[in-house]
Amino acid sequence: MSTSATKVFVPRDTTACSLGADDIAKKAKQIIDSEQLELNLVRNGSRGLYWLEPMLEIETSLGRIAFGPVDEESVDTILRSHCWELLTEFDSILNIELPHFLGLTEEISYLKNQQRICFSRVGIIEATSIEDYNAHGGFVGLTVALEMQASAIVKSVVDSGLRGRGGAAFPTGIKWQTVLDAEAEEKFIVCNADEGDSGTFSDRMLMESDPYSLIEGMIIAGLAVGARRGYIYLREEYPLALKILNEAIELAGDAGVLGENILSSGKVFILEVRLAAGAYICGEETSLLESLEGKRGEIRPKPPLPAIKGLFGKPTVINNVISLASVPGILANGADAYQAYGVGRSRGTLPFQLAGNIKYAGLVELAFGASLNTLLHDFGGGTRTGGPIRAVQVGGPLGAYLPENQWHTPLDYEEFMKIDAMLGHGGIVVFDSSVNMSEQARFSMEFCSIESCGKCTPCRIGSVRGVEVIDKIRSGIDVEENTVLLQDLCATMVDGSLCAMGGLTPYPVRSALQHFPEDFHVKADSL
């Protein structure tokens, strides 16, 4: 197949593949070969418009055109139509009458109305192609960083206003400054890719669709703080991401981007992926470090901060995938360009993930400041089952459940804190009226009891007692007394737990109780 052949794209992404993208790719290849079509099949990442997966795109002189969700039969019809050859002027698009035709991909409003900065290449490039990555602005940030003083790189990240995208929203630049200032023979960069929060998949998508942006971000972090070795701690539940990351790391080594002589600069950065083993708590940074050291993933009390005493006791930068992958763009385009997006102290963009019972589920990267309603209705289109939305859980299993009167809240870290909620890692899980909120509250406690590392009592024992008390309330046993007991237990867990696991589990529980008392047979005024 000549390289000048027209490109056809079928995603290689966990969700796209879970809906049949591998079979579609196989079918497309078969047709291209048997019909000897001048087409070159490329496995891109997903655009994140998941209700349209498996999606097939074809390159034309007007831009890429999309079809989705396609099945094997429609792929056959589309590829035999030679429609891409007929597209020479814009109006000719209107003449295409093929199954599942969506028009120009970039014009699909769900995509067009986003502000894709971190995800600018996702779904466009072939994930592990260095050539593709370079052609779309890859390694510009690294080239800039190689010419800078370490302190200037850190200053750029501080000035960008970037805050940790894993959920805690701690300023990334401040973390880096602490590690830069720490004196040590050896320092480490650790990427927290243990994306355990339910309803989130942005880390997975980025690693599967644009792995070099994460690799580039980690190398820049290494240059900024003086670390020569990095680890990506990846959850075991992401087998495709593991495969793609390992491919990318090997190719980056061959290309002289990673290794003993980064882009011929004489600088060193060695990177490897370490596989987790199915413990939610290992997404907590100190627990993650214990796990990387080969121990039980029990959390460490802080201080000392990992920035001072982290992996193997050395100063360590530990950042989320999206935080690190945002860095190359900040270096390439300047801190001001990044900081220009957003509101208040929430600068830049957040890749939100619409999940659960929602019609148009997928990835929506937006600047901070839009409202939850915009995501739920303008992007999400309401529930998939058709009825009204009843509750929305934002920020993973430790995030609050929000009722309709809170959906106007701006997507901003501080605004969410004001209503006892959190944006976290940007996961948004939608429930329709079939949900029973006391059952959800019980699950929050049950999840904590299953995943608690056991180090502190409020979390280990509190969560078990939480399940028992909620069971009593659900059975109508001494409802008022047990509700008081539950509130008391929640307060103990919030105030007495060592980390966010026990400390935040009460948030979904309290919010369910406060906003949906009818599901607990509790009168609202008795709370």
Partner 1 sequence: MNNTKPSFDVDQVARIIEQHKNRPGALLPILHGIQDELSFIPSEVLPVVAKQLNLSRAEVHGVVSFYHHFRTSPPGRNIVQICRAEPCQAMGSRNLEAHAKQSLGIDFNQTSIDREFTLLPVYCLGNCACSPAVRIGDVVYGNVDIDTFDQLMHEHSAVAVEVK
Query: Which residues contribute to the site for partner 1 (CB under 8 A)?
Result: 14-15, 17-19, 50-51, 53, 195-201, 203-204, 236-240, 274-280, 291-298, 312, 353-357, 361-362, 384, 393, 397, 427, 429-432, 435, 440, 443, 447, 450-451, 453
Q: Which C-beta is closer to partner 1: that of 16 or that of 179?
A: 16
Q: Which C-beta is closer to partner 1: that of 142 or that of 318?
A: 318
Q: Which C-beta is closer to partner 1: that of 132 or that of 451?
A: 451
Q: Which C-beta is closer to partner 1: that of 133 or that of 447?
A: 447
Residues 6+ apart with CB under 8 A from 447: 280, 397, 505
Q: How far is the CB of 367 from partner 1 (least distance, A)?
A: 22
How far apart CA 205 and CA 203 sit, in angstroms, is 5
Q: How far is the CB of 452 from partner 1 (least distance, A)?
A: 11
Please tell me whether residue 46 adopts helix, strand or coil conformation. Answer: coil
Q: How far is the CB of 48 from partner 1 (least distance, A)?
A: 8
Residues 6+ apart with CB under 8 A from 451: 279, 280, 281, 501
What's the 3-state SS for 442-500? HHHHHHHHHHCCCCCHHHHHHHHHHHHHHHHHHCCCCHHHHHHHHHHHHHHHHHHCCCH
Q: Which long-range contacts (CB under 8 A, 24 or more apart) does 473-481 make?
A: 473/438, 473/520, 473/521, 473/522, 474/438, 474/439, 474/442, 474/520, 476/521, 479/520, 479/521, 479/522, 480/522, 480/526
Q: Which residue has the tokens 């763009």?
A: 329
DSSP labels for 165-214? TTTT--BHHHHHHHHHHS--S--EEEEEE---STT--HHHHHHHH-HHHH
Which alpha helices (DSSP H) does 259-351 contain, by range? 285-292, 321-333, 335-339
Asked if 45 contacts 12 with a C-beta cutoff of 8 angstroms, the reply is yes
Asked if 75 contacts 58 with a C-beta cutoff of 8 angstroms, the reply is no
Q: Which C-beta is closer to partner 1: that of 79 or that of 355?
A: 355
Q: Which C-beta is closer to partner 1: that of 143 or that of 436?
A: 436
Q: Which C-beta is closer to partner 1: that of 84 or that of 238?
A: 238
Q: How far is the CB of 21 from partner 1 (least distance, A)?
A: 11
Q: How far is the CB of 374 from partner 1 (least distance, A)?
A: 18
Residues 6+ apart with CB under 8 A from 153: 145, 220, 223, 224, 331
Q: How far is the CB of 34 from partner 1 (least distance, A)?
A: 26
Q: How far is the CB of 193 from partner 1 (least distance, A)?
A: 11
How far apart, in Å, do the first and last CA atoms of the chain sit?
69
Asked if 289 contacts 283 with a C-beta cutoff of 8 angstroms, the reply is no
Q: How far is the CB of 318 from partner 1 (least distance, A)?
A: 14
DSSP labels for 81-112? HTHHHH--SGGGGGG---TTEEEEGGG-HHHH
Q: Which C-beta is closer to partner 1: that of 266 or that of 294?
A: 294
For residue 72, the 8-state DSSP code is H
Q: How far is the CB of 117 from partner 1 (least distance, A)?
A: 21
Q: Which C-beta is closer to partner 1: that of 238 or that of 368?
A: 238
Q: How far is the CB of 383 from partner 1 (least distance, A)?
A: 9
The token pair that represents 107 in the structure block: 């014009």
Q: Which C-beta is closer to partner 1: that of 435 or that of 489?
A: 435
